Amino acid sequence: MRLAWREAAKGLGRTSPNPAVGAVIVSAAGKILACAHHRAAGQPHAEIEAMRLLKKPEHARGATLYVTLEPCSTQGRTPPCVDEITRAGFRRVVIAAIDPNPKHGGRAVEILRKAGVEVRAGVLESECAEINRAFNKWIGTKIPWVIAKAGMSLDGRITRPPSEGRWITSAASRAHAMKLRAQVDAILIGAGTLRDDNPRLTVRGIPEARQPWRVVLSRSGDLPADAHLFTDEGRDRTLVFKDRPLGEVLRELGQRDITSVLIEGGSRILGAAFDQKLVDEVRFYLAPLFLGGPKVSVAGLGAGVAEDAVRIRTPRYEKIGGDICVSGML
């Protein structure tokens, strides 16, 4: 199952709105016959990919299928995987996490057992479910998983003096954050960030990565027409929301099958997200600088008392060059 988990991780950022899933087929003698992962929505699911990698279809008979998520049991973009699994003649199917979709979670387990297949569920369940935390939230609520991201000085400032360029964190930290961009469906900023920085919000340096949607929130809708987001080759994947509450925007993005949103600023947008408790995860990069100045990373109303503060449940600290990345779920 750990091998299947590593396979599933290969699909992160590529399968939305489907979950990332890995599968491994093992013979009755304990030999690994095939490993595969789901590559993109509309393409074969991990179980089917693994079965197609077998040298002969009959090798599935009597074998064990390990899969990180319960096989699908309904017709979607592809036929139900559970039907092909039962026809293939597997003796045993080992499942990590049950499908969180309330419409058919657990149904495949029943179908397989009625067909005489031995089923075991819950193996490495938490690890495999963690990979699909965005899908798991979205499939039940239609609201995307929200990640707050910022690069800042140790005193929480997000801008350098105008004569010194825009970057606060190191190139290593920016490359690290680029991997996060490659795993989300959309990147969201405010109008102030668009005017001040004219960002591209593209994924760079990661082969075959999908370009996320770019989302801009603006009170007035008065935005520079020559901004990169409106003129580059990804302009058709730029959305502007005028004078709309953040929570309402997130719900509309969820209706568009956007399962994860990375909020990259600025301080007003991040403040609203934390004030309204819309953030699920944080990724803050701290550079060893003290810059001062008025622009803090997170504005908003803030907590009235420390007891009401938003807290990271299990914080992680990672040293990246001279910077520190603080991350975790809220």
Report the C-alpha gap between 330 and 323 in whole angstroms.
Answer: 22
Pair 269, 247: CB distance under 8 Å: no
Structural tokens at position 142: 């239609």
Q: What angle do CA 269, 139, 314 make, to 5 degrees?
A: 60
Q: Is 135 exposed, middle or buried (0-12, 13-18, 19+ CB in 10 A)?
A: buried
Cβ atoms within 10 Å of 191's Cβ, excluding its own: 21
**Which one, of 330, 13, 297, lies nearest residue 156 by Cα?**
297
**Which one, of 109, 107, 112, lies nearest residue 91 by Cα?**
112
Pair 93, 67: CB distance under 8 Å: yes
Give catalytic status of residue 47 as yes or no. yes
Sequence-separated (6 or more) residues with CB below 8 Å from residue 41: 15, 16, 17, 18, 77
What Cα–Cα distance (Å) separates residue 28 from each residue in 59, 282, 312? 10, 44, 44
Helix 107-114 crosses helix 81-88 at what angle (to 10 degrees)? Answer: 20
The CA-based diameter of the chain, rounded to the nearest angstrom, is: 71
Catalytic residue among 7, 47, 49, 281: 47
Catalytic residue numbers read: 47
